[in-house]
DNA sequence: GCAAGGTC
């Protein structure tokens, strides 16, 4: 009996083959260059020793699109909410598809080894359909779905022995998302492109996407807040005292007031007393926590902050490092390592490095501490970590070198201990007012020795104050300050906002940012050594246009709420609380109404765009 | 020529 196994990507096929075959497998070429077939034997409980072929796809192999007769210009865009949609084999994936059909011919069972997430389940179903094309006798009941979250040996063996069936509710949820994204994206894109055609400086196409627009909305919103900012003056008190020849600056605990006369009145009350009193002095241990294990989104944010790399460039570099075998799979939401994972052996591989080798050695000599555990687990991949050692000098590509160094330092930091120190807080009572001064003394750097991106150093320490002592006020004043504008949007913040609002996934956030750039909705601008993101005239015009139109039920096409609502709905489809058809109808109706309203108000869109044109 | 989601 033969079992055909199919993984979501070649690397998983290879790893799982190694584990299940005990290293004894034979590789065969397939019609698709990157997706080899591996033959071996494995003992499936209840089926005995079976012939196994393990192969792979590269993500989805089908494409959802409108049939050619409903192409651009051939049908009014509004009809795209009801016209039939076609699921075809992606023509770039024809060879992969053919390989599965061929390999299924002499197979009795099909075993799905795609990632255990929503999209993975749907890809599993696409694989099943491809297998059925080659072999009608593989029915849905002949599909085994393995469940694994990482590539540790026993975990994979266990997954091979305890499969379930494909969960069609999860597949339905994905189909629902695909259909909605396509109908909304295609209809609005054609509408916007047609509406704005002929205006000045309009690129083509003017696209709309359920992720593109909320992302653009964040950028425009921030830009407007910066532009409309008006500074305000405020006043506050400050007092310095001196002891043993050392000056300590005390800050007012009441913060600041926008009323100058009020602050002056308070100040005059204080000035009646030449002395203040040290009300309390506390010295307590404090920690600077080591970072959580690394997720994709965090990697992108950090490389943007520390290296000024774009999210896309970071992901591209990480991808190369992954296919080269240097780091683990770079698309993960998981921020806790599986308990069974042997982290020390990974630390061991880094001991030979000239920069952090010594640090890694110290971890193995007793400094190791189990990494912190975050709350996220995508049940597919562990946090990003180094796999093999590589000398930095040997990595030719700048971005890859930076990402590798970051991944290693972050990993070693996770396996180290928190930095330790002491914080001293002194409270000064002067007249009716209370002031505070703090001092920090760092005693152990620990993880900060390797995680050089973060600074935590001793500040000025406080003189040896005694509780209750009376002390002369050496200097004091009413200080004036002014509020500053919010900062312009950075890529780091945009990634964080999208992530927090469920706009896109770890694997696609970078693409969306890239795309709204390619569509000329946003641009990156150098500003004082860093890079900010600002909207273009078209970007502002589109967002302002949409917010000037009154939509039924007050929905917004440029805010994250609709996409968030879709996510909630998809969860309900996954758990069976709602059917795919219900969820789809509800959302399609919602967007269809918004489409009609938009079409009726095209003039508003055009006017808003003109308003922001220079 | 359109989307978002996989991945190379």
Positions of chain B reached by protein Cβ under 7 A: 1-8
The pLDDT score that the predictor gives to residue A161 is: 97
Cα A181 to Cα A365: distance, rounded to the nearest angstrom: 53
Neighbour-count burial of A447, counting CB atoms closer than 10 A to its CB (0-12 exposed, 13-18 middle, 19+ buried): buried
Helix (H) or strand (E) holding A509: helix A509-518
Least confident residue range of A150-159, A161-170, A411-420: A150-159
Q: Classify domain A171-228+488-611 by CATH number.
A: 1.10.460.10
The pLDDT score that the predictor gives to residue A425 is: 94
Choice among A329, A404, A521, A591 that is catalytic: A329
Token pair belonging to A94: 């024809």
pLDDT at A455: 92
B6 nearest neighbour residue (CA to C1'): A59
- Say what the pLDDT of residue A154 is: 86
- Catalytic annotation on A329? yes
Give me the residue spans of the domains in chain A: 2-166, 171-228+488-611, 233-287+425-450+468-482, 296-414
Q: Which CATH number fits domain A296-414: 3.40.30.10, 1.10.290.10, 3.40.630.10, 1.10.760.10?
A: 1.10.290.10
- Residue A608 has a pLDDT of 93
Return the nearest residue to B4, CA–C1': A181
- CA-to-C1' span, A185 to B1 (A): 13
CATH number listed for the domain at residues A233-287+425-450+468-482: 2.70.20.10
- Asked whether A236 and A256 are in contact (CB, 8 A), the reply is yes
Q: How confident is the model at residue A245 (pLDDT cuts 50, 70, 90)?
A: confident
Measured CA to C1', what is the nucleotide nearest A319?
B8
Q: How far apart are CA A471 and CA A447, in angstroms?
A: 40
Regarding the domain delimited by A2-166, which CATH topology (the fold level of the hierarchy) does it fall under? Answer: Rossmann fold (3.40.50)
pLDDT reading at A269 higher than 80: yes
Round and report the angstrom distance from CA (A401) to C1' (B3). Answer: 34
Same fold, A233-287+425-450+468-482 and A296-414: no
Distance A40 CA to B4 C1' (A): 37
Q: How many Å does it take to go from CA A178 to C1' B3?
A: 8
Find which nucleotide's C1' atom is closest to A329's CA.
B7
The per-residue pLDDT for range A492-539, each reduced to its tens digit, is 999 999 999 999 998 899 999 999 999 999 999 998 888 999 999 999
Using the predicted structure, report yes or no on whether residue A379 has a pLDDT greater than 90.
no
- CA angle, A289 then A290 then A293, to 5°: 130
pLDDT at A94: 96
pLDDT of residue A149: 77
């Amino acid at each position: 009996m033969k079992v055909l196994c199919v993984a979501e990507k070649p690397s998983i096929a290879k790893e799982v083959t190694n584990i299940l075959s005990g290293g004894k497998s034979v590789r065969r070429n397939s019609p698709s260059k990157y997706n080899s077939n591996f033959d071996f034997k494995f003992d499936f409980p209840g089926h005995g020793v079976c012939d196994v072929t393990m192969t792979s796809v590269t993500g989805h192999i089908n494409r959802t699109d409108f049939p050619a007769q409903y192409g651009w210009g051939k049908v009014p865009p509004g009809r795209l909410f009801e016209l039939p949609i076609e699921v075809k084999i992606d023509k770039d994936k024809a060879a992969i598809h053919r390989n599965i059909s061929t390999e299924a011919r002499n197979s009795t069972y099909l075993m799905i080894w795609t990632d255990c997430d929503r999209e993975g389940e749907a890809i599993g179903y696409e694989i099943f359909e491809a297998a059925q094309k080659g072999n009608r006798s593989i029915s849905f009941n002949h599909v085994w779905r393995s469940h694994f979250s990482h590539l540790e040996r026993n975990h994979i063996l266990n997954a091979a022995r305890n499969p379930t069936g494909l969960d069609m509710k999860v597949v339905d949820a994905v189909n629902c998302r695909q259909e909605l994204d396509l109908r909304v994206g295609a209809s609005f894109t054609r509408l916007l492109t047609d509406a704005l055609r002929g205006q000045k400086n309009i690129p083509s196409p003017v696209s709309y996407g359920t992720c593109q627009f909320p992302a653009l909305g964040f950028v425009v919103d921030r830009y407007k807040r910066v532009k409309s900012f008006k500074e305000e003056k405020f006043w506050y008190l400050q007092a310095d005292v001196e002891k043993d020849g050392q000056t300590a600056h005390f800050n007012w605990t009441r913060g600041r007031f926008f009323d100058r006369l009020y602050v002056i009145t308070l100040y005059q009350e204080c000035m009646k007393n030449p002395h203040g009193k040290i009300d309390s002095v506390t010295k307590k241990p404090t920690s600077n926590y080591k970072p959580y294990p690394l997720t994709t989104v965090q990697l992108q944010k950090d490389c943007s902050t520390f290296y000024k790399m774009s999210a896309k460039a970071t992901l591209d570099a990480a991808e190369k490092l992954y296919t080269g075998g240097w780091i683990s799979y770079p698309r993960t939401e998981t921020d806790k390592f599986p308990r069974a994972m042997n982290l020390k052996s990974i630390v061991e591989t880094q001991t030979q490095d000239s920069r952090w080798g010594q640090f890694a050695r110290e971890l193995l000599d007793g400094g190791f501490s189990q990494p912190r555990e975050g709350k996220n687990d995508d049940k597919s991949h562990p946090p990003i970590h180094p796999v093999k050692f590589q000398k930095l000098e040997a990595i030719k590509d700048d971005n890859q070198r930076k990402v590798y160094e970051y991944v290693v330092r972050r990993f070693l930091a996770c396996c180290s201990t928190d930095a330790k120190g002491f914080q001293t807080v002194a409270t000064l009572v002067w007249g009716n007012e209370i002031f505070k001064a703090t001092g920090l003394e760092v005693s152990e750097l620990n993880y900060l020795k390797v995680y050089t991106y973060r600074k935590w150093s001793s500040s000025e320490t406080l003189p040896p104050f005694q509780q209750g002592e009376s002390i002369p006020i050496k200097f004091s004043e009413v200080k004036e300050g002014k509020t500053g504008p919010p900062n312009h949007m950075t890529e780091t913040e945009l990634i964080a906002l999208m992530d927090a609002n469920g706009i896109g996934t770890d694997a696609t956030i970078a693409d969306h940012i890239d795309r709204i750039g390619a569509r000329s909705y946003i641009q990156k601008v150098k500003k004082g050594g860093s890079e900010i993101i600002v909207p273009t005239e078209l970007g502002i015009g589109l967002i302002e246009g949409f917010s000037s139109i009154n939509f039924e039920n007050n929905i917004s096409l440029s805010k994250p709420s609709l996409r968030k609502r879709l996510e909630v709905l998809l969860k309900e489809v996954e758990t069976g609380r709602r059917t795919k058809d219900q969820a789809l109808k509800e959302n399609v109706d919602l967007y269809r109404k918004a489409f009609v309203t938009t079409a009726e108000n095209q003039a508003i869109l055009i006017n808003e765009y003109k308003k922001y044109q220079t």
